[in-house]
Structure 1
Amino acid sequence: MSSLRLAPAAAGARLLGLGSVQPDTVVTNDDLARRIDTNDQWIRDRVGIRSRRIADEKTLLVDMAADAGALAVEDAGLTPADIDTVIVATCTMPNPIPNAAAQMADRIGVNGIGAMDLNAACAGFCYGTGVAADMIRSGTARHVLVVGSEKLSDWLDMDDRSVCIIFADGAGAAVLGPAETPEDVGVGPVAWGAAGDLVSTIGIDEKNYLRQEGQAVFRWATTKIAPIAMEALDKAGLTPADVDVLVPHQANLRIVEAIAKKLRSQGARDDLVVADDIVHSGNTSSASIPMAIDHMRGAGRVRSGDVALIVGFGAGLSYGGQVVVLP
């Protein structure tokens, strides 16, 4: 039997560029208080959010994905012709067919390439980055565009205080490319999994509304996610002291702070930069991690070459994290 030929492998993958977009409409806590029984202080005390962005009816999830993806390709110094795979991480497409990836790829001029959606909810960007890095390392792909895009407002009951104060819309993207030498590797191994026994804590009900058991998710995230972050560091051969930037999924500011506190107890530095994009962006599920990094970069809070620990978690309950070097 003849042996099969494999594509030339790469040493690993690295991030080349980032991009993000948000809708123009800002919805404050006071705006919500005019509709439901809540107030600004109540929301800030529980989830840390002051405002969020909500898309209008004409803006599609695919529109946001395409805009963020185009910015990431440009930021990477590439053209659409250089992209050979597109992965869209999302859990809020209005219909499963056709997928978002093929539509957004066509919109930015990327044609005749692999295009697929990936649904790991709020862990989607980490899952997508892990898949993309392995594709590049194996030689299956060279430049992969990973986009987290969500229009959660399509699935919200605006009279349900437990969800309408939290979730929002937006898209964040990253381009991954090959590391030519082992020293250039900028994406570590993914540490991922799912707690399927808790699948009922977040889901879509019979009216097509997003529902969640907030306290159950909070308890799970504040106890289980820091160990996943530590596992991602161990897989990359690093310690908490090596991390410059911590970017947890922006689910709840109290969860973010709890994860940061546990990492500091394990040796993370006092100058660790911790993402807090949820304050003004809300919870944008799979878009939250790349969007937070892009916003921090724009504000000058992070620099090229910084070592970032990213960790996502959400419905499923799915979780995943890895170490990346910022472009």
Structure 2
Amino acid sequence: MHGSRITSVGHYQPAGVLTNEDLAAMVDTSDEWIRSRVGIRTRHIAGPEEPVDELAWHAGAKALAAAGLPPDGVDLVVVATSTAVDRSPNMAARVSARLGIPAPAALDVNVVCAGFTHALATADHAVRAGAATRALVIGADKMSSIVDWTDRSSCVLVGDGAGAAVVEACEPGQEPGIGPVLWGSVPEMGDAVRIEGEPPRFAQEGQKVYRWATTQLPPLARQACERAGFALDEIAAVVLHQANLRIVEPLAERIGAVNAVVARDVVDSGNTSAASVPLALSKLVERGEIVTGDPVLLFGFGGNLSYAGQVVRCP
């Protein structure tokens, strides 16, 4: 049980971009209204020919290429998503087939916006237990397929995309690069974020989520840092679920990691659910805002009012 580390990341967003001005032509809204309430300028929207597994495949392929890892080097694929259309084959199996991964354990995780951090913890636990040596962990969602485009309170929020990470076992004596997870949920408030009905539609109680996130999550995030053995002033970056800039900014401030870069990818990508944490992390790495070895706090939260967070070392 040597622990695990992230060795590479990758991300993908569809080419289609929907601006606030575009939305103003669809529903009763405006650029000023959207920016003042959620801080979003643009979001990427997948076309009808771009299913969730295609988004996940692109991100996973980039992460594998960045790691210099051939497909047959992966023995576990975990995909976090809540927007899969079919029940079987699952997204992990579809992505594995697209990537040519020959015989992985392939499982999906549906914890909505906290999906990626749950999936990352699952892969870390599998590696620690000796059940896997190299895992591909992906968060991917096509939120545009489940939103009501006539409801301005929800359609202004969402975007599509995917982010991925390669997780490998540490060498004996090597410090783990993925810290202990802190996870849990508030089941009695689970209906605050919903994807329900036929066809399924995304809805949420925005004020309830805002109050819960900004008051209840800061001490939990600090506890995740403590479990990993880091003081708050040692954290180089904070990557929260990109729900809404009006949640991300006060939550990051209340966590108290004063020296940290705060991911604000929601401004350009919208809320991409399970994709938001790995998408934002991969962009920070790509832009050089964090460097190899930097301790980064990841914290996902949302649907089910579930949460999961851990400190990872930047690949």
Q: TM-score range by the shorter chain?
A: over 0.9
8 Å contact kept, 1:85–1:145: yes
Q: Distance in 1 between matches of 2:3 and 2:197?
A: 44
Q: Secondary structure at the match of 2:178?
A: coil
- Aligned match of 1:123: 114
Instruction: Confirm or deny that 1:112 pairs with 2:98.
Output: no
Instruction: Confirm or deny that 1:326 pairs with 2:314.
Output: yes
Instruction: Confirm or deny that 1:38 pairs with 2:29.
Output: yes
The 4+ residue runs of structure 1 with deviation greater than 3 A are none
- Aligned match of 1:4: none
Q: CA deviation at 1:182?
A: 4.5
8 Å contact kept, 1:245–1:308: yes
Once structures 1 and 2 are overlaid, which stretch shifts more, 196-205 or 177-186? 177-186
- Aligned match of 2:231: 239
Q: How does 1:1-327 map to 2 (within 5 A)?
A: 9=1, 11-207=2-198, 208-264=200-256, 268-269=257-258, 271-327=259-315
Amino acid at match of 1:314: G
Matched positions, count = 314
Q: Secondary structure at the match of 1:193?
A: strand
Q: Distance in 2 between matches of 1:291 and 1:206?
A: 28
Identical aligned residues as a percent? 44
Q: Distance in 2 between matches of 1:182 and 1:195?
A: 38
Q: Secondary structure at the match of 2:163?
A: strand
8 Å contact kept, 1:12–1:182: no
Once structures 1 and 2 are overlaid, which stretch shifts more, 313-322 or 234-243? 234-243
Alpha carbon RMSD of aligned pairs, Å?
1.1
Q: CA deviation at 1:316?
A: 0.4
Structure 1 length-normalised TM: 0.94
Once structures 1 and 2 are overlaid, which stretch shifts more, 135-144 or 176-185? 176-185
Where does the alignment leave 5 or more consecutive residues of structure 2 unmatched? Answer: none
Q: Distance in 2 between matches of 1:254 and 1:183?
A: 39
Larger radius of gyration: 1
Q: CA deviation at 1:183?
A: 4.1
Q: Distance in 2 between matches of 1:112 and 1:71?
A: 20
Amino acid at match of 1:53: H
